[in-house]
Chain A
């Protein structure tokens, strides 16, 4: 397929995945505002901001010691992460970019998927933080995350499994793997700063990954941070686990093929395999999870660059034409 179309679909997958991930995080965070202690709320905001590698443009990540201050800050922080146009990582910005890629590539996606994305876009365009804050912000985030899950379902049900589909999936899973490693690293860093460990900091992470029940079944009701990370990183049955995301990048690149340039041929495939192997084969024996996660994150960034160089921005000199 046309390299630019493939690139558009790849980015569409990435942006929509990022928007969905952020909605899930914000849903948990706004739920916490109802009844959780200030320390936990502070932990949540820090985890999110470090996870997306951003400093808030307003509000504060420092615990202020009073409910009023915490809620006021939370309002500003939620606005920054949800509707702020100048924040390229806000839900709205990711969504606008994802939808724009979909609009430009709508001849490559199913009509049903396009309509679904466009409807959600029309809805979110009209909203502001005031609209969602007064009643139940967590419902807004839950509904928006559900709409984004619907995109995946509609895409799976209606799209032809051609190259376009593969690139869209590849974008999603590289993004998901990168977001997960960043979040886990952020979680470890935030936890290390605290003198005492709180179960809630880790159960919220489990809930983010729909893994709370799975954890209880596999381990116990007792929360061990290491075991939580084990489950989220290595469980092949957990839909969003890190190993599943990395396995999908391996299989998607394999089905896409080696690309046009013999010099870099297969490099992306090998790197994807190596990254997945870190989780499959090194994780169980490693004490220092942060160091390993750091490597996975770097590999994912490198993988993105390789995918771009292999399939989208390759040099046409010395290429055979057909």
Chain B
């Protein structure tokens, strides 16, 4: 099928093509392979990929839908391709970042040197709703607050940038693996000849990481994955990971704390749990400490954690490090703790809590993207150029009322990648979320959940907002 009609916009980085329309060197085999396929063949490949998701029930739930309705995440059959060298850069940058964020969390809940030294303003941290007073004075086992990190990266003509870190309950890794499985079996020959690095051992790396973090002296640590339950949007992923880990998938009601130890109800009685890979937000983890109305958590869980009798991954309180305001200071943190420059730069960010930044944001609302610091998933944000004057005016009122709740960033030209839309190749904006595992050492699989804004012109890649996924191929050298 011919890619000649594919439109290149020189102001936007294209993952497959150079600005003159010729394919990038590392994408040439894929380009040529796709060119050899007829429209019917490609269409049937896309249909096969979509059907495999539906057959296997790879679904997510959108909040606000009829209770618990399962939706199949849209997936595009054309992979996005990165070179081994590009991947090494990301790997280096992400390892640096996760190491720093763990040092920051250890510091900020203890001596708080970084605040005393004025690198980050005290109010940015202390007023952050995700800063947990309950964690003050606590040292996470092996210094690992964040054992699993999903960082969102974008690419522009200036290179890769970090859009945000997800340090509480990052999700999406199951889609990375599902996309790979569906796409590689549908593009069999192309996949084989492309020499793509494997991602399949993610489950084993995750298990290794969790075992490294288990409390000492336990010969066969028991691992459980704590899910909020079947109505959670990522329930499919929880099931998937429990299977990969060979762990029990538990809900709060399956666990109880007795004498400072955590137990789960099994068919043969109570069994001690050593490591909990929790996919429940801080707020709901322990009704004795956080939200008292939580039915999803386990009373006494935080106490058991602080005693060192169970390990929670990720630790409660990590949200302060992925807060959208604190994000702005990560490059400074890297400099402060490691004495290095950030390998992967941030997106320029204005903190509306600072009056000059607020003024700048209000004056330039039409060209900025403004986000609420406490929201995620594409909710609570406004993309200035895509909004109406009325929407911007309404948003400005909220901004003035609570400036500390907002940050703003320039609208970046996220890179685009060819997608098969209605049997044609069309460019769509993409980002990527690689996953970093951090136990006693740092591990990554060469892959990521690559998200696509499937609506023409849209920059929002979240699956809850019309986004989909595609496979990411990291080539071997």
A4 within 8 A of B: yes
B295 within 8 A of A: no
Given A2-B250, A5-B248, A321-B261, verify A103-B266 contact (CB < 8 Å).
no
| Nearest chain A CB to B403 CB, angstrom units | 44
A104 within 8 A of B: yes
| Nearest chain A CB to B275 CB, angstrom units | 15
Given A4-B254, A107-B239, verify A322-B248 contact (CB < 8 Å).
no
Given A106-B243, A107-B239, verify A322-B57 contact (CB < 8 Å).
no
In the bound complex, CA of A94 to CA of B228 (Å): 25
5 contacts between A and B (CB under 8 A): A1-B248, A1-B266, A118-B57, A316-B265, A319-B269
Looking across the interface, which residue of chain A has its beta carbon closest to that of B265?
A3
In the bound complex, CA of A119 to CA of B52 (Å): 10
Q: Which B residues lie within 8 Å of A111 (CB)?
A: 56
A322/B270 in contact, CB under 8 A: yes
| Nearest chain B CB to A101 CB, angstrom units | 10
B219 within 8 A of A: no
B267/A115 in contact, CB under 8 A: no
Q: Which A residues lie within 8 Å of B248 (CB)?
A: 1-2, 5
Q: Which B residues lie within 8 Å of A167 (CB)?
A: 267
B132 within 8 A of A: no
Q: Which B residues lie within 8 Å of A321 (CB)?
A: 258, 261, 263, 269-272
Instruction: Report the interface size class on chain B.
Output: 20 to 34
A15 within 8 A of B: no
B256 within 8 A of A: yes
Q: Which A residues lie within 8 Å of B270 (CB)?
A: 260, 316, 319-322
Residues 93-113 of A, flagged 1 when their CB comes within 8 A of B and 0 if not, give: 000000000011011000100
A114 within 8 A of B: yes
B269/A5 in contact, CB under 8 A: no
Q: Which residues B214-253 have CB closer than 8 A to chain A?
A: 230, 239-240, 242-243, 248-251, 253
Residues 36-64 of B, flagged 1 when their CB comes within 8 A of A and 0 if not, give: 00000000000000000011110000000
| Nearest chain A CB to B125 CB, angstrom units | 38
Given A321-B272, A322-B270, verify A4-B56 contact (CB < 8 Å).
no
B453 within 8 A of A: no
B254/A322 in contact, CB under 8 A: no
Q: Which A residues lie within 8 Å of B402 (CB)?
A: none
Given A3-B266, A322-B272, verify A106-B55 contact (CB < 8 Å).
no
B267/A256 in contact, CB under 8 A: yes
Q: Which B residues lie within 8 Å of A260 (CB)?
A: 266-270
A259/B268 in contact, CB under 8 A: yes
Looking across the interface, which residue of chain A has its beta carbon closest to that of B241?
A107
B interface residues (Cβ-Cβ under 8 A, vs A): 54-57, 230, 239-240, 242-243, 248-251, 253-254, 256, 258, 261, 263-272
| Nearest chain A CB to B174 CB, angstrom units | 12
Given A1-B248, A4-B254, A119-B55, verify A163-B267 contact (CB < 8 Å).
yes
Looking across the interface, which residue of chain B has its beta carbon closest to that of A100?
B230
Looking across the interface, which residue of chain B has its beta carbon closest to that of A310?
B267
A311 within 8 A of B: yes
B272/A3 in contact, CB under 8 A: no
In the bound complex, CA of A314 to CA of B269 (Å): 9
In the bound complex, CA of A259 to CA of B250 (Å): 20
Main secondary structure of the interface of A (DSSP, over half): helix
A5/B249 in contact, CB under 8 A: yes
Number of A-B contacts (CB under 8 A): 80
Q: Which residues A1-44 have CB closer than 8 A to chain B?
A: 1-6
* Partner pick for B267 among A3, A122, A322, CB 8 A cutoff: A3
| Nearest chain A CB to B218 CB, angstrom units | 12
Q: Which residues A272-322 have CB closer than 8 A to chain B?
A: 311-312, 314, 316, 319-322
| Nearest chain A CB to B219 CB, angstrom units | 13
A58 within 8 A of B: no
Could you list 10 further interchain pairs (A-B, Cβ under 8 angstroms) beyond the known A107-B249, A256-B267?
Answer: A1-B266, A2-B248, A2-B264, A2-B265, A5-B249, A118-B56, A260-B269, A316-B256, A316-B270, A322-B271
In the bound complex, CA of A114 to CA of B59 (Å): 14
| Nearest chain B CB to A97 CB, angstrom units | 13
B57/A114 in contact, CB under 8 A: yes
B254/A103 in contact, CB under 8 A: no
Instruction: Report the interface size class on chain A.
Output: 20 to 34
A interface residues (Cβ-Cβ under 8 A, vs B): 1-6, 103-104, 106-107, 111, 114-115, 118-119, 122, 163, 167, 256-257, 259-261, 311-312, 314, 316, 319-322
A4/B55 in contact, CB under 8 A: no
Q: Which B residues lie within 8 Å of A257 (CB)?
A: 268
In the bound complex, CA of A75 to CA of B353 (Å): 68
| Nearest chain A CB to B204 CB, angstrom units | 16
Q: Which B residues lie within 8 Å of A311 (CB)?
A: 267
In the bound complex, CA of A18 to CA of B425 (Å): 48
Q: Which A residues lie within 8 Å of B242 (CB)?
A: 107
In the bound complex, CA of A289 to CA of B245 (Å): 51
Given A118-B55, A122-B55, A316-B256, verify A4-B239 contact (CB < 8 Å).
no
Looking across the interface, which residue of chain A has its beta carbon closest to that of B242?
A107
| Nearest chain B CB to A187 CB, angstrom units | 36
Q: Which B residues lie within 8 Å of A314 (CB)?
A: 265
Looking across the interface, which residue of chain A has its beta carbon closest to that of B271?
A322
In the bound complex, CA of A3 to CA of B264 (Å): 9
A322/B265 in contact, CB under 8 A: no
Q: Which A residues lie within 8 Å of B54 (CB)?
A: 122
Interface centre among B256, B261, B264, B265 (most CB of A within 10 A): B265
In the bound complex, CA of A163 to CA of B272 (Å): 19
CB-CB nearest 8 A-B residue pairs: A260-B269, A107-B243, A321-B270, A107-B242, A3-B265, A311-B267, A2-B248, A118-B57
| Nearest chain A CB to B26 CB, angstrom units | 33
Looking across the interface, which residue of chain B has its beta carbon closest to that of A6?
B267
Q: Which B residues lie within 8 Å of A261 (CB)?
A: 269
Interface centre among A4, A107, A122, A167 (most CB of B within 10 A): A107
| Nearest chain A CB to B203 CB, angstrom units | 12
In the bound complex, CA of A260 to CA of B55 (Å): 38
Looking across the interface, which residue of chain B has its beta carbon closest to that of A257?
B268
B272/A1 in contact, CB under 8 A: no
In the bound complex, CA of A102 to CA of B267 (Å): 18
Q: Which A residues lie within 8 Å of B271 (CB)?
A: 321-322
Q: Which B residues lie within 8 Å of A2 (CB)?
A: 248-250, 254, 264-267
Q: Which B residues lie within 8 Å of A316 (CB)?
A: 256, 265, 270
| Nearest chain B CB to A11 CB, angstrom units | 14
Looking across the interface, which residue of chain A has its beta carbon closest to that of B230?
A104
Looking across the interface, which residue of chain A has its beta carbon closest to that of B238?
A107
B243/A322 in contact, CB under 8 A: no
Q: Which B residues lie within 8 Å of A115 (CB)?
A: 55-56
Q: Which A residues lie within 8 Å of B272 (CB)?
A: 321-322
| Nearest chain B CB to A276 CB, angstrom units | 22
Q: Which A residues lie within 8 Å of B57 (CB)?
A: 103, 106, 114, 118
In the bound complex, CA of A57 to CA of B249 (Å): 39
Looking across the interface, which residue of chain B has its beta carbon closest to that of A119?
B55
| Nearest chain B CB to A13 CB, angstrom units | 15
| Nearest chain A CB to B251 CB, angstrom units | 7
Q: Which B residues lie within 8 Å of A122 (CB)?
A: 54-55
Interface centre among A2, A257, A321 (most CB of B within 10 A): A2
In the bound complex, CA of A119 to CA of B53 (Å): 11
